[in-house]
Structure 1
Amino acid sequence: MQAPRENAVLVFGSTGKLGRQIVTQLLEEGRTVVAAARDAQKADTVFEELGLRVGYQADKSKGILALEGDVDITNPESLNRPELWAGVSQVACAVGPIFGRLPDGKMGYLDDMTSERVDAQGVANIASALQSVFKDKAKSRETATVLPMTSEADLVKWQRLDDVIMGGQSSSALTLAADGSGAVFSGDLIIEGGGFCGARTKALDLNLGEFDGVALEVEGDGQTFKLNLKTADQEDLPECTFQATFDTLPGRSTTVYIPWREFVAVKRARVDPAAPKLDPSSVRQLGLVLSRFEFNGLANPNYWAGKFSLKIKGGIQGFREPRPAIVFVTSAGVERNAKIGDDETARKADIPIVQLNPGGVLNHKYAGEWAVRSAGIPYAVVRSTGLTSEDEDTDFVLEASQGDRISGKISRKEVARVAVAALGTAASVGKTVEIRRSEAAGDRGKASSQPDLERLFLTAVQDRHRPRINLAPLPAPVPPPKPPTPERTAEILSDERVQAAQAAGRGGRVRSEEETSAATSVTVVGDNRAQVSAPGQNGAQPQGDGDEAVPQNVKEARDWIRSWRASNLERKLPQEEKAGVNS
């Protein structure tokens, strides 16, 4: 029986080092994954070596893996197959150019999979396909009434819960609004002897699990109120509940959205850190409260004794936020490169990768970002700092920033964790973040929890709101600059930061000789591209090192690649005898 494809994540670049991590972690979370690959047979081998198999996994708690071959993102037609998108609700994109080694030892791009064709044109093709595939996907918040409050029958479900139960004197009532638009929670708050007024529903079967939180359209008097939730596990524990606060504006109507994460478990009016996480599907009661306290005995900054009134229009609603249709993993440095443009002085003062920008890779990756943002679908962009193989099994606290202002290092496994977290949270939509490991000594050995990963996005602003945190709007893409001279390249490569990265084994995916021999062509990129046919193709042989046979810009690119390989990548090649399509 064929495994179903429902709510699946389509992963481009699935067999690369990073893509494999994304596939593995999605399956660990129970998601259905559709792995897109150019060569299905090689991809099947890659996943088999990871202990994964097409269909159901041996561990039934894991998700389902499907495989789609003959997917070449540089060819738009290969993306326009309905079967590729069957059951797909989200996309993770972790593609990159393909380097390989010729029999004569020279390095280049295989099958013309250059950064320009993959990172720019290929990602643009994906973005274009998504415009059609996800044209009906929700792009904004959706709401539905879960507890109407417009009739006497609706209000019979509520009961008073004032401080008189503690010897206080406050009083309140929940009544229908005179205009029939909803209900009014009003009363008299007396702080002596208690200091709170409340109303709570009887036990109900609400099943709020399909929502991301609750919403109320309210007209208040400027005070801060609380919304309480009680789960099935708390029904016999009167001292336990979940609470969230919301503000009102005097005499003005406003809609308040309260996501589940804002509800705090409390016990006897104190935060209860030992309480289990809120399960919205088990919510049985809702309540409204006006109290002189917020949490742990701290005073409510917006309350006053005496008369109060809170009008609730329609009732209490559940809301759903859109998740990103695509999470695009790209590279730090792309934005600062775009800002620099042709300013050579500024380029020389920047980090080594921006100075080198081999093959215009930063420009092409940024062009891919631009295409994703311009597609008109919910997106998230995760920019990795320097990828490293150091301490891959060691936990680190992860940090995020915006504006392309940080550098650092991070493992592919950690990048995948952030990408998978981005797929699962509405907080990532419309945002671009750079991520790295914390360099603080005390943060080594500490894992970022799921709430920590979500917080990376919660503390970020949407790209369109960058000026709110003193960041300029995203710059427009610019053409690649001229490559550095051989002398300048040697100077950059001697930088201690580059040397340290090479010594630590940081670098991109390089194909083995076996993979290279299967390539139809190899392309070396400088300012222009010179294509070198693989042996056996029309009888052509690779070009030699002579200046008379190789354009200067190509020679410079080869010199740079050869230097990089000699100090770092050569020692890695014997371990890289596996198929893959990106880094």
Structure 2
Amino acid sequence: NKKPLATRTTPLKLGRNGDHRHTLPRRHPSPQKLMGNIVRMASYDRASNVANAIPALRFADRPLKWHRLDDGVMGGKSSTLHSSSLDGREGMHFAGIINTDGGGFASIRAPLEAGLPDGAAAVRIRFRGDGRTYKVLLSDGTPSGPMGRTPSWQSDLPTRKLGPDDDAEVATLPLESFVPSFGGSSASSPSRDQYNFDPSVMRQLGLMLSLRLSDGRPNPVETFGEGIFEFSLFVEDVKPVTKEDLDRETEEGKGGGECESEG
């Protein structure tokens, strides 16, 4: 009698919420695609990007100079085209093209020479978006990708698609809302308990559009995009906010005043 052929079953794993999910086999890139990634990685000129940083905005009364850092650093095809104005408005225009073939993120970074000021409790940003969910980044300025030794700290920034006559949006992101990330999936994302957020060592501010949200979950197609697409986020102002400012605004809000203003 012939023995029945052995069958291989796909193991099940429990997701973070207790739901079952199949573990799918990894698809390895073709030799041609792998070689293309290697060539793009080797030719990605990070030093030139830093040398050609664009000055725009101020943070804690110090000027910011922004350089781009795209997925080309890992062999991707996305690109950033940032500038210091949009339609006559001064600010930082973070724009470009995302290509999810081999990558899926674009970002700009600016050194914080003096770090976060003493007493900072949040980052406030005034912006005009395109309906996508971006991320605000804080880090100690060292490389913080999958091979990094320290994480970047990230907080999601949902945006609405605004018309030319619409008022800009304002978001206040408490420092406690920033979560550590090495750029991986939610399964590999470190918890806040593993790393201590120390405002005194933060030396870089960033903006990013990525196929993953700050906690590593996929950024939905509706708030990210798919394939090859353009993006645009215009930042009119970004500044630190102290706990005293937040407490005062809360009291003013209880008294009928406005917590945030466009002026």
Q: What TM-score range do you get, normalising by the shorter chain?
A: 0.5 to 0.7
Structure number with higher helix proportion: 1
Rate the CA distance shift 1:148–1:291 in 2: closer, same or farther, 3 A: farther
Offset at residue 258 of structure 1 (A) = 0.4
Deviations 1:326-374 (Å, cap 9, x if unpaired)?
xxxxxxxxxxxxxxxxxxxxxxxxxxxxxxxxxxxxxxxxxxxxxxxxx
Rate the CA distance shift 1:255–1:241 in 2: closer, same or farther, 3 A: same
3-state secondary structure, aligned to 2:81: strand
The answer to whether the 8 Å contact 1:271/1:295 transfers is: no
The aligned runs of 1:301-450 (5 Å cut-off) are 301=220, 302-305=223-226, 306-313=229-236, 315-322=237-244
Deviations 1:278-323 (Å, cap 9, x if unpaired)?
122221001110011114542113111401110111x321113448
Q: Which amino acid aligns with 1:159?
A: H
For 1:159 and 1:204, the matched residues in 2 are separated by 15
For 2:124 and 2:104, the matched residues in 1 are separated by 26
Rate the CA distance shift 1:147–1:292 in 2: closer, same or farther, 3 A: farther
Offset at residue 180 of structure 1 (A) = 3.9
3-state secondary structure, aligned to 2:109: strand
Give 2:219's aligned residue: 300
Give 1:444's aligned residue: none
Q: Which moved more, 1:203-212 or 1:298-307?
A: 203-212
The answer to whether the 8 Å contact 1:214/1:319 transfers is: yes
Name which structure has the greater RCO, CA cutoff 8 Å, separation 6+: 2
Deviations 1:28-74 (Å, cap 9, x if unpaired)?
xxxxxxxxxxxxxxxxxxxxxxxxxxxxxxxxxxxxxxxxxxxxxxx
Give 2:153's aligned residue: 242
The answer to whether the 8 Å contact 1:146/1:317 transfers is: yes
Give 1:169's aligned residue: 77
For 1:224 and 1:258, the matched residues in 2 are separated by 14
3-state secondary structure, aligned to 2:203: strand
The answer to whether the 8 Å contact 1:217/1:254 transfers is: yes
The aligned runs of 1:448-467 (5 Å cut-off) are none
Give 1:186's aligned residue: 95
Q: How many residues align?
A: 181
Report the TM-score when normalising by structure 1.
0.28
Give 1:229's aligned residue: 138
Rate the CA distance shift 1:277–1:285 in 2: closer, same or farther, 3 A: same
User: Paired residue for 1:160, among 64, 68, 71?
Assistant: 68
Give 1:255's aligned residue: 170
The answer to whether the 8 Å contact 2:181/2:216 transfers is: no
Rate the CA distance shift 1:216–1:193 in 2: closer, same or farther, 3 A: same
The aligned runs of 1:483-494 (5 Å cut-off) are none
For 1:291 and 1:236, the matched residues in 2 are separated by 17
The answer to whether the 8 Å contact 1:209/1:279 transfers is: no
Deviations 1:504-523 (Å, cap 9, x if unpaired)?
xxxxxxxxxxxxxxxxxxxx
Structure number with higher strand proportion: 2
Deviations 1:525-553 (Å, cap 9, x if unpaired)?
xxxxxxxxxxxxxxxxxxxxxxxxxxxxx
The answer to whether the 8 Å contact 2:106/2:208 transfers is: yes
User: Paired residue for 1:278, among 183, 193, 197?
Assistant: 197
Q: Which amino acid aligns with 2:174?
A: P
Q: Which amino acid aligns with 2:181?
A: V
Coordinate RMSD, CA, aligned: 3.0
Offset at residue 183 of structure 1 (A) = 1.6
For 1:206 and 1:293, the matched residues in 2 are separated by 26
- The percent identity for this pair of structures is 27
Give 1:264's aligned residue: 179
The answer to whether the 8 Å contact 1:173/1:199 transfers is: no
For 1:188 and 1:162, the matched residues in 2 are separated by 10
For 2:108 and 2:143, the matched residues in 1 are separated by 18
Rate the CA distance shift 1:218–1:158 in 2: closer, same or farther, 3 A: same
Deviations 1:160-191 (Å, cap 9, x if unpaired)?
11111111111012201142421200001111
